[in-house]
Amino acid sequence: MRKEVYSLCFMCSVRCPIKVTVEGNEVKWIEGNPHVAGMEGSLCPRGMAGIGLLYDHERVQSPMIRTGPRGSGQWKKVSWDEALNFVADKLKAIIQKYGGHSVVLGERTQLSTHVSKTFLRAIGSPNHFTHDAICKGSVNTAGRSLFGYTDAQMNFDYGNTKHIVMYGRNLFEAIEVKAVNSLMKALENGAKLTYIDPRVTITATKASRYLMIRPGTDLALNYALMNVILKERLFDREFIDRWAEGFSELESFVQQYTPEWAEKETGIPAHEIVSLARELGQDKPSVIFHFGYRGAHHTNEIYFRRSILILNALMGTIEAKGGLFIKKGPGEVGGKPARKLTEQDLPKVEHVRFDKVGTKDFPLPDPNHGVGQILPYAILEENPYPLKALIAYRFDPLMSIPDTNQTKRALDKLDLIVAIDINYSDIAWYSDVILPESIYLERMDSIQQANGLKPQMFLRQQAVPPRYDTRPGPIILKQIAERLEVDKYFPYNTMEDLVRWQLEGTGFSIEDFKEKGFVAYTDKQIFWDRKDGIKFKTPSGKIEFVSSLLENAGFESFPAYEPVSAPKEGEFRLIVGRCAQHTHVSTQNNPYLNEIVPENLLWINDKEAEKLGIKTGDLVEVSSEVGSGIIKAYVTDMIHPESVFMLHGFGHESKLATRSLRKGLNDSLLIKNITDRIGGSPAFHDTFVKVKKS
Ligand SMILES: Nc1nc2c(c(=O)[nH]1)N[C@H]1C(S)=C(S)[C@@H](COP(=O)(O)OP(=O)(O)OC[C@H]3O[C@@H](n4cnc5c(=O)[nH]c(N)nc54)[C@H](O)[C@@H]3O)O[C@H]1N2
Ligand SMILES: Nc1nc2c(c(=O)[nH]1)N[C@H]1C(S)=C(S)[C@@H](COP(=O)(O)OP(=O)(O)OC[C@H]3O[C@@H](n4cnc5c(=O)[nH]c(N)nc54)[C@H](O)[C@@H]3O)O[C@H]1N2
Ligand code: SF4
Ligand SMILES: [Mo]
């Protein structure tokens, strides 16, 4: 029998709504949910490769317990009872001896993150962290410092924009399907795209203006744009008068940063900066300066992300058609959101977090997410206290935290590593126990509260039964909790029970999701009134150019610009990023995606390559202060001479993932683990490397 199941893709975290065609227990086809505006049936390459994941015999098929040394690949296949008892017994002993706070759980934020947070609170640990800071911590902090909202609480009206500026936001390769479709439509209708990157990406090829910036100098460009915008009075005066605090401080600060000054720093001609500012002045307020995620990642990234948001404010884009909007929740229309387990009366935890977020040592990053890249330091230095167990849940610290060698040394100190994964990832390979989760097509998940211009809820509905001996994450965690006798916080036996519990009081039922996969609280788009209705969540209720968040913590709102150092002779600034065919470190072993992009290459500028005698296809050795490795070179004039580039996520070491084993090079082997101590992001692009023919 053929049926259609509406669900949510999870080949990456964007969670596009999908329609899955099922015959018997087989998935025959997956496409974008046609009922959802912006999806138009489309999916990205990874979304299509979900079928490859479902039928992949190289994913983890049953719980496994390691029998040889860590990383030796000696495993015993065990029953769920055996695996769960093993984990619970170890955790019990660790908690008894070192306290609940010695247990850390790190995960990529997902729909059931409320369950893992509850699990940690139940065992008395403050040490839950997500990927958020590692991905974009400083964007989050910048948003809170200016508007009182995190980046996750804002979005862009791509479809109606007249001009979008993206700083290394390589949207047409680092994909969100709805955003891509909407922006393509806007471009077809005449919108402009200004794209800034030291490297010519696919997005650069679709741009109306591409600026090959000197790596790391975007902040200088933005200060010069502000300089012109203020001097030539190109900003939205009415909006600024009504909503901004600290305008005069900003104005006097940027006076020194002229386009001529910025030309020397960025390599972008002064006249280009002036004409860009003037064009944006004409197109405002239907303008977007995308806050981005992974473009320029440096130790002062907080100020770069703030500068992007300040430009949005100056052009009055907030709550304008074709600009930046704050996501609206069900409360806007008198509705109630789905419940979360964390809303229960959970035990208080007394210890500070392992990363010290929320203390005066690290006051500003978002305590809802923590700062994951601090983990290796916390373990190695036993500061603030010894950590003994790590549960890695859909997160691979070995590849996703910079400096793999250091992370490995830290993991070696732990008494227990548990991986809740679907693949033989490098962390699964290095763990003591693997608890395999059913993949997204095989499980129901917690409700997705989708705030936006129209608040909605989506449901990941199970399309087919699990092919192998796997379970949904919230069931796995509940079953460990039972063994630790803290299961009273988990009022469900099945995923359906959990979802029904979440929906209580919302006025919606699980059956309401059958037809289209989502429910809407309203069918009208909600924009707030730009004259009087914007609810900024800063202490002043305004946009804080001079930020109380920063200043109260002892940081300046406008520190003087520090010039970006050029690499020494024979060195390059390493920059990294994504391609359309892979998700981070997850999909390199996918049978379809591996066939299309099997390995990463080192992009190197043609003139620099010539000096080093390097040709495309040559094997080269790349080395930094913290590691080195071999990779094939790709010689091109499409990259700035100061930088070399490689895709993130390759160079896997797990031998049970045979297609991706040792293909390409792991960027985390080379990148130093240093952090923007104000915003929380790792400084991914602050490592210099030497390159030579191997
Ligand atoms: N296909 C695919 N799509 C994804 C993901 C995925 O893994 N695969 N992941 C999702 C996630 S979690 C994220 S965070 C986003 C990431 O989205 P993006 O941040 O758009 O993605 P990256 O590929 O990391 O792009 C970084 C770009 O910044 C450029 N860059 C490096 N240094 C500088 C600089 O100094 N200035 C400027 N202006 N640019 C610089 C790099 O050359 C690179 O092109 O993508 C999301 N979408
Ligand atoms: N060196 C370097 N480090 C980076 C980046 C970089 O560019 N370079 N990018 C950063 C960014 S932007 C991000 S967002 C993070 C992402 O960091 P991660 O979350 O670590 O990366 P992912 O590839 O999304 O997924 C990690 C693990 O989840 C598993 N997985 C996939 N689906 C499921 C599932 O349904 N259930 C379970 N239990 N497991 C699943 C995969 O097999 C993989 O082992 O990495 C950051 N770290
Ligand atoms: S962007 Fe692609 S992989 Fe990510 S959820 Fe959407 S379709 Fe799936
Ligand atoms: Mo990310």
Structure confidence at residue 12 (pLDDT) = 97
Q: How far is the CA of 480 from the centre of ligand 1 (A)?
A: 37
Does residue 587 contact residue 593 with C-beta atoms inside 8 Å?
yes
Residue 361 CB contacts under 8 Å (≥ 6 apart), including other chains = none
Which ligand 2 atom minimizes the distance to the CA of 586? 23
Q: 153 burial class (0-12, 13-18, 19+ CB within 10 angstroms)?
A: middle
Structure confidence at residue 415 (pLDDT) = 98
Closest by Cα among 230, 235, 229, 227 to 265: 227
Task: Please provide residue 202's backbone torsions phi and psi, each rounded to the nearest 5 degrees.
Answer: -60, -40
Beta bridge partners of 27: 22
pLDDT tens digits along 569-580: 999 999 999 999
Cα–Cα distance between 618 and 172 in angstroms, integer? 29
Q: Give the E-state strand segments of 11-159 in sequence order.
A: 17-23, 26-32, 64-66, 75-77, 103-107, 128-130, 154-156
Task: Please provide the CATH number assigned to the domain covering 64-126+352-520.
Answer: 3.40.50.740
Q: Answer left, alpha or beta for residue 109, where phi above 0 means left and psi between -120 and 50 means alpha.
A: beta
Question: Is pLDDT above 90 for 693?
Answer: yes
Structure confidence at residue 296 (pLDDT) = 81
Beta bridge partners of 692: 621
Cα–Cα distance between 392 and 214 in angstroms, integer? 37
Residues enclosing ligand 1, CB less than 6 A?
12-13, 135-136, 167-170, 173-175, 196-199, 201, 213, 215-216, 218, 292-296, 575, 577-578, 580, 582-584, 645, 685
Pairing of strands 154-156, 324-326: antiparallel
Closest by Cα among 142, 144, 117, 143 to 129: 117
pLDDT tens digits along 534-555: 999 999 999 999 999 999 999 9
Place of tokens 């390589």: 170
Q: How far is the CA of 188 from the centre of ligand 2 (A)?
A: 34
Does residue 569 contact residue 640 with C-beta atoms inside 8 Å?
no
pLDDT over 70, % of the chain: 100
Pairing of strands 518-520, 456-458: antiparallel
Closest by Cα among 685, 675, 557, 686 to 133: 675
Sorting pLDDT into bands at 50, 70 and 90, what band is 203? Answer: very high
For range 672-688, the mean pLDDT: 97
Question: Is pLDDT above 90 for 354?
Answer: yes
Question: Is pLDDT above 90 for 278?
Answer: yes
Q: Answer left, alpha or beta for residue 462, where phi above 0 means left and psi between -120 and 50 means alpha.
A: beta
Report whether residue 129 contacts ligand 2, using a CB cutoff of 6 Å.
no
For range 427-432, the mean pLDDT: 98
Question: Is pLDDT above 90 for 40?
Answer: no
Question: Is pLDDT above 90 for 166?
Answer: yes
Architecture of domain 571-693: Beta Barrel (2.40)
Q: How far is the CA of 650 from the centre of ligand 2 (A)?
A: 12
Structural domain spans, the chain: 64-126+352-520, 139-328+527-552, 571-693
Q: Per the CATH hierarchy, to which homologous superfamily does domain 139-328+527-552 belong?
A: Dimethylsulfoxide Reductase, domain 2 (3.40.228.10)
Cis amide leading into 397 (omega within 30): no
Residues enclosing ligand 3, CB less than 6 A?
9, 11-12, 14-16, 43-44, 46-47, 175-177
For range 617-635, the mean pLDDT: 98
Residue 69 CB contacts under 8 Å (≥ 6 apart), including other chains = none
Q: Give the E-state strand segments of 348-472 in sequence order.
A: 389-393, 416-421, 433-436, 448-450, 456-458
Place of tokens 């074709």: 322
Cα–Cα distance between 516 and 518 in angstroms, integer? 6
* Max Cα–Cα distance, the chain, nearest Å: 71
Closest by Cα among 234, 307, 219 to 266: 219
Cα–Cα distance between 215 and 608 in angstroms, integer? 16
Q: Answer left, alpha or beta for residue 108, where phi above 0 means left and psi between -120 and 50 means alpha.
A: beta
One-character DSSP codes across 188-231: HTT-EEEEE-SB--HHHHT-SEEE-PPTT-HHHHHHHHHHHHHH
Structure confidence at residue 250 (pLDDT) = 98
For range 384-410, the mean pLDDT: 98
Cα–Cα distance between 448 and 456 in angstroms, integer? 8
Does residue 631 contact residue 664 with C-beta atoms inside 8 Å?
yes
Nearest CA to ligand 1 atom 2: 174
pLDDT tens digits along 213-263: 999 999 999 999 999 999 999 999 999 999 999 999 999 999 999 999 999
What 3 state SS string does 469-493 have? CCECHHHHHHHHHHHCCCHHHCCCC
**What torsion, rounded to 10 degrees, do the Cα atoms 310, 14, 481, 415 define?**
-80
Give, rounded to a whole angstrom, the gap between the first and last alpha carbons of the chain.
Answer: 57
Cα–Cα distance between 646 and 666 in angstroms, integer? 9
Range 57-82 burial, b when 16+ CB lie within 10 A, else e? ebbbeebbbbeeeebeeebeebebee
Q: How far is the CA of 135 from the centre of ligand 2 (A)?
A: 10
Cα–Cα distance between 164 and 192 in angstroms, integer? 6
User: For 14, which DSSP code?
Assistant: T
Q: Answer left, alpha or beta for residue 321, where phi above 0 means left and psi between -120 and 50 means alpha.
A: beta
Place of tokens 């994909």: 175
Q: How far is the CA of 363 from the centre of ligand 1 (A)?
A: 27
Global confidence as pTM? 0.98
Cα–Cα distance between 502 and 341 in angstroms, integer? 8
Which ligand 3 atom minimizes the distance to the CA of 18? 7
Q: What rounded mean pLDDT belongs to the chain?
A: 97
Sorting pLDDT into bands at 50, 70 and 90, what band is 1? Answer: confident
Place of tokens 């490592």: 687
